[in-house]
Amino acid sequence: MDIRIPLLALLRNRRTTDPRRPEQSSSSMRWTSAAAACALLCTALVPVSAQWLNYPTPGIPRTADGKPNLTAPAPKTPDGKPDLSGIWLRNGNYLQNLAKDGVEVPFQPWAEALYKQRMENLSKGTPGERCLPRGVPAEMTTPNPFKLVQIPGLVLLVFEQFSYFRQILTDGRGHPTDRMPTWFGYSVGKWVGDSLVADTVGFNDQTWLDYDGHPHSDALHTIERFRRLDFGHMEFQITIDDPKAYTKPWTVTIPFDLLPDTELIESICENERDVPHMVGK
């Protein structure tokens, strides 16, 4: 089995001791004792200090005992907009089921049949099994953090898992008219009050919305709203608008937590050996 994820968990203390740490996805829990032992051995050979995992983040408000004050007011950019920058991790296993909070999913008949087929087959065949991008929103709901970088004209999302990235262009441009289908789509954004609203089109139909297998077509159009509630918490809302797969748009709200005083770890999908071990049915 691929041991990258348990190795990272051993390297990063916050992955295993943080009480806010969301549960692992079912795929990441398929580790053998041999893999765990190998990961532990590899850990002994990797200098943890080289990972910047416990380096104080500049500019973070702190309590009297020096700990990050995650309930402090949300920061602002020089132009007065909320600053979303930071390393974030979803709170709750929305990778398993995007609609886990009881959201009604208004399937088209073919999409419902495909979803049930994927569930009956124990989710075998997800893009991640083959080192392919999970797409939007699944890449943001993995048990791996992402870094959000906000600069004038651009919001950049850098994902720890497999070192993927997304761009949300906020310089006033619209969507390209001549576009090829892509894994992450073409995102343009604007500020509406204290929320960044990202409008994304141009997806291919190769990704799943979650591990359970909610499908989408190449007509997928997403509207995402990022709102930083305070220094350490962000609300992320996504609307799935895909008339080929669903009879009407549906919306999910996901909480994110800031991970202070740490850094991303390089994670490359190499020597992939998951597929032969996927059980299916």
CA distance 89 to 258: 7
Phi, psi angles (nearest 5°) of residue 19:
-65, -15
Give the pLDDT of residue 47. Answer: 44
Give the pLDDT of residue 19. Answer: 36
Strand partners, 233: 230, 257
Strand partners, 255: 235
Q: pLDDT confidence of 169, banded at 50, 70, 90?
A: very high
CA distance 244 to 116: 17
Give the pLDDT of residue 205. Answer: 97
Give the pLDDT of residue 277. Answer: 67
Give the pLDDT of residue 130. Answer: 86
> In 80-226, which ranges are continuous DSSP H helix?
109-120
Say how many Å lie between the first and final Cα of the chain, rounded. Answer: 19
Give the pLDDT of residue 23. Answer: 43
Q: Per-residue pLDDT tens for 88-134?
A: 999 999 999 999 999 999 999 999 999 999 999 999 999 988 889 99
CA distance 118 to 58: 45
Give the pLDDT of residue 48. Answer: 45
Q: pLDDT confidence of 33, banded at 50, 70, 90?
A: very low
Phi, psi angles (nearest 5°) of residue 213:
115, 25
How many helices (H) and strands (E) in the chain?
4, 9
Which position has the token pair 């007509």? 219
Lowest-pLDDT range of 46-50, 109-113, 179-183, 277-281:
46-50
Give the pLDDT of residue 62. Answer: 97
Radius of gyration of the chain (CA): 19
Give the pLDDT of residue 29. Answer: 39
Lowest-pLDDT range of 18-32, 85-99, 184-198:
18-32
Helix axes 4-11, 33-45, angle to 10 degrees: 50
Percent of the chain with pLDDT over 90: 72
Q: Is the pLDDT of residue 60 over 80?
A: yes
Q: Is the pLDDT of residue 15 over 90?
A: no
CA distance 101 to 161: 25
Q: Is the pLDDT of residue 27 over 60?
A: no
Give the pLDDT of residue 184. Answer: 98
**Higher pLDDT, residue 250 or 50:** 250
